[in-house]
Amino acid sequence: MKTAVFGATGYTGRVLMRLLLDHPFVDRVIPVSRSAAGETVHGRDPGLFNQYPNRFTKDGKFLSREDILGAEPDAIFSALPPGDSANYCGPFFKKSVIIDLSADFRLENPKTHESVYGQEAPFPRLRSQAVYGLAEIYREQLTKADIVAVPGCYPTCVLLPLIPLIRRNLI
């Protein structure tokens, strides 16, 4: 599987690349950065590059989004900030599975998104297609998802212990 990581120079992006490079089904990782396109992964994270020297595309350089428009990765992981993530992923909807770590697709209702996050909801028509990425609850839906809205750490740690109690009518 060929994957791309948007926001690959940030902490979350670097950790995500390491996890993907350790995954047995991932052949290549395309590191994408708005600020470091053209720079080498080795220059930013020598340990990561030295551990996986042949697993990056384009000579181990960070690429821009425009550089990969024809590459059509199987999956794109976006570690960009909310408000930027969905728009940056825009050209890849329907071409790659989008796994969004920001809050851009977590809430289906655009008005709720606007009231919670204080910004206009990106791609309102695509929101209903996003599957909330809590695998313990939505495992079956995630296998067919084109857009995965990765839940934040607080909702995850609250929902995982509560959902079994709710299902058993204990609360």
CA-to-CA distance for 129 and 146, rounded, in angstroms? 7
What is the DSSP secondary structure assignment for residue 40, as one 8-state letter? Answer: B
**SS3 assignment, position 108:** coil
Write out the catalytic residue numbers: 153
- 91 sits in the region (left: phi over 0; alpha: psi -120 to 50; else beta) called alpha
| Cα distances (Å, whole numbers) of residue 139 to 9, 23, 135 | 30, 19, 5
